[in-house]
Amino acid sequence: MPRLMLSDEFWSKLEKILLQEAIYNKRNLRMTVEGMLYRMRVGCPWRDLPEAFGSWNSIYKRFNAWSLSSKWLRIFKALSIDPDC
């Protein structure tokens, strides 16, 4: 699974954007985001997320909350400003 995870360099960029979006920096924020991205890459049901990411239900609820408040849209727009070619 490590090769599918975000590099430390990319995570530091993403973390700054998340904090600008008023996303609270909890101690498990990185694993929560990794779980969301893993689920999007693999296409598995939320319940099938590996336990290494944490509680699937917590990740699902946070993903839905960020989606409903358009935080994901603003995050992706911010990432597209400085693409990593």
Domain boundaries, the chain: 8-81
Pull the structure tokens for residue 32.
């929560």
Residue type, 74: R
pLDDT at 60: 96
| Residue among 41, 22, 38 nearest 30 (CA) | 38
Q: What is the pLDDT along the chain (85 residues), one digit of tens a residue?
A: 566 788 888 888 888 888 888 887 778 899 999 999 999 999 999 999 999 999 999 999 999 999 999 999 998 888 888 766 5
What is the helix (H) or strand (E) element at residue 73, kind and residue range?
Answer: helix 71-81
Pull the structure tokens for residue 16.
């700054």
Separation CA 48–CA 74 (nearest Å): 27
pTM (whole model) above 0.85: no
